[in-house]
Chain A
Amino acid sequence: MSDNAMNAPISADAQRLLDLLADRATGALGPAEAAELDSLLRRVPQLTDADGRTITPDYFEASAGAAMFALGPQPQPLPSQVRERLLARGREIAREASRQVAPDSSSPAPAPSKPAGPSVLAKLGMLGWLAAAAAVILSVINIYNAQPRPAYRAYRDMLASGVQSVAFAPQGRFKDQNIRGDIVWDKTTKTGYARISNIAALDPKQQQLQLWVIDKDRPAGPQTPIDAGYFSLDSAYLDPVTKDYIVPITARLQVFNEQAIGLTIEHTGGSVTPTMENLVAVAPLK
């Protein structure tokens, strides 16, 4: 096959989309190309190649993953301490999934699928019926409480949509505190979510966390980095299922060329400029 054999008569958008998907699979997308890819994925929802094959957005990534295995080294045994820690994290995630799939088995019994008939009611007696009704109500409350908050669902949807997701890198004195988290960020809409866990509690009357967008193309001055929202570590942002804090990243000013998302501790009510001694973590953007 020649190097030009794939230049088949498909639309220019489809051709470009194929190029960008292959580039992404080999990690070669710059920020402008990533934005172009996002835009094309919206414009060309159904992609087929010159041979009529349906090309999903992860079509080439699956090949690249397989090639990694093919080229990869012999598997190395996981160090036992690493395995233990991974196992603990994995079980935690499985438990979260379990709570989302069904109410906890220790919860009161769920409602029967059909209303109890008179003979059952008679057997239970009024007290039993009230207990059963209370159990139903408690069960519904438990199910509701175990549902991920809308912010978590939005975070998860963004993650699944393929926008970039970058881990927070703890900074300075926070490096020793095992703070975990990441951000999802859509370069097209300039919006995203931060997920934070394992962070020490703050007194909300004194201190709050604040997000910042570091914008390469915004002139230095009081408006950079851009304030992207401040928040307390309270139940408003705590997801009951995952125990993560999920916070929307909402830039207060227009973002031109974002380079990173920063997280600082500020006095309650937020700051105009970040307090660099209190820089908790940074997530570099591509």
Chain B
Amino acid sequence: MPGPFLQLIARGDETAVAACLDEYGGMVWGLAERYLKGFGEDLEDAVQEVFVEVWRSAARFDPAMGSEPAFIATIAHRRLIDRQRRVQARRAVQLEDDRIIESKAVVKDGSALRDDVAAAARAFESLDSDEKQVLWYALYQGLSHERIAKAINVPLGTVKTRIRRGLSRLREALSTHAGKEVAS
């Protein structure tokens, strides 16, 4: 079944639920594993929380406003990072300042996700290294802005500016990608 699936789910199409899970389940499960494994969190519970919100919000999905993967990623991000922050408050995090920060998303050929993820990876690669660094700490490591400032030894305001600038530039790059897709 070709996507997008959310509008079908909003109309009550049960077969679209299975297709949606086949398309995005592995990605969300992978993200949940990456973010929450080792924190004693129930991965199934976290993934269910993400998908229940995705499906319950399906009627709000508007393709004119963004792609389906971006919509799902936004919800997954919000839910998973909330959980990670809750548990991370109880744990010390190993800082990895010298780690090479690069996009490493790999999605199987033929997936409807592939173009979006590839576009996100390209957009991320196009950022300046200082933007990539703070976003990697904030989104991949789940560090607070204060902890990032300490880790890379810059003022808090600089961290916030770099994060906002990086997110803006990502959004611009992805909007350009979406615009090209619409035009093609």
Distance of A26 Cα from B81 Cα, bound (Å) = 8
Question: Per a CB cutoff under 8 Å, which of B48, B144, B174 touches A66?
Answer: B174
Q: Which of A17-25, A114-122, A203-211, A230-238 contacts B (4 or more CB under 8 A)?
A: A17-25
User: Cβ of A75 and Cβ of B29 under 8 Å apart?
Assistant: yes
User: Cβ of B164 and Cβ of A60 under 8 Å apart?
Assistant: yes
Q: Please indicate which of the listed interface residues A56, A85, A97, A98 has the most CB atoms of chain B within 10 Å of its own CB.
A: A97
Q: Does A4 contact B (CB under 8 A)?
A: yes
Distance of A56 Cα from B175 Cα, bound (Å) = 14
Q: Say how far B41's CB is from chain A's closest CB, in angstroms.
A: 11
Q: Kindly list chain A residues whose C-beta atoms are within 8 Å of the C-beta of B9.
A: 90, 93-94, 97
Q: Which of A76-84, A217-225, A263-271 contacts B (4 or more CB under 8 A)?
A: A76-84
User: Cβ of B26 and Cβ of A18 under 8 Å apart?
Assistant: no
Also in contact, A97 and B18, with CB within 8 A (given A65-B76, A76-B33, A85-B48): no
User: Cβ of A22 and Cβ of B76 under 8 Å apart?
Assistant: no
- Complex: chain A residue closest to B171, CB-CB: A63
Q: Kindly list chain A residues whose C-beta atoms are within 8 Å of the C-beta of B17.
A: 87, 90-91, 93-94
Distance of A91 Cα from B120 Cα, bound (Å) = 30
User: Cβ of A66 and Cβ of B123 under 8 Å apart?
Assistant: yes
Also in contact, A73 and B31, with CB within 8 A (given A83-B21, A86-B25): yes
Q: Say how far A196's CB is from chain B's closest CB, in angstroms.
A: 14
Q: Is the interface of A mostly helix, strand, loop or mixed?
A: helix
User: Cβ of A70 and Cβ of B103 under 8 Å apart?
Assistant: yes
User: Cβ of A89 and Cβ of B167 under 8 Å apart?
Assistant: no
Q: Does A6 contact B (CB under 8 A)?
A: yes
Distance of A167 Cα from B52 Cα, bound (Å) = 12
User: Cβ of B78 and Cβ of A160 under 8 Å apart?
Assistant: no
Q: Kindly list chain B residues whose C-beta atoms are within 8 Å of the C-beta of A144.
A: none
User: Cβ of B167 and Cβ of A78 under 8 Å apart?
Assistant: no
- The interface size of chain A toward B, counting residues with CB under 8 Å, comes to 59
Q: Kindly list chain B residues whose C-beta atoms are within 8 Å of the C-beta of A63.
A: 166-168, 170-171, 174
User: Cβ of A64 and Cβ of B120 under 8 Å apart?
Assistant: no
Q: Say how far A40's CB is from chain B's closest CB, in angstroms.
A: 15
Q: Does B4 contact A (CB under 8 A)?
A: no
> In chain B between 84 and 112, which residues have their CB closer than 8 angstroms to a CB of chain A?
84-86, 103-108
Q: Kindly list chain B residues whose C-beta atoms are within 8 Å of the C-beta of A23.
A: 145, 160, 163
Report which A residues bind B (CB closer than 8 A).
1, 3-6, 18-19, 22-23, 25-28, 49, 56, 58-79, 82-83, 85-87, 89-91, 93-95, 97-99, 101-102, 156, 159-160, 167, 284, 286
Report which B residues bind A (CB closer than 8 A).
9-14, 16-18, 20-21, 25-27, 29-31, 33-34, 44-45, 47-49, 51-52, 55-60, 65-66, 69-78, 80-82, 84-86, 103-108, 113, 116-117, 119-121, 123-124, 128, 130, 135-136, 138-140, 142, 144-145, 158, 160-168, 170-171, 174
User: Can you offer 21 A-B residue contacts whose CB atoms are under 8 A?
Assistant: A6-B161, A19-B160, A23-B145, A26-B139, A62-B66, A64-B139, A66-B73, A66-B116, A67-B120, A71-B140, A72-B30, A74-B104, A76-B26, A83-B21, A89-B48, A93-B55, A94-B12, A97-B10, A99-B12, A101-B12, A284-B86
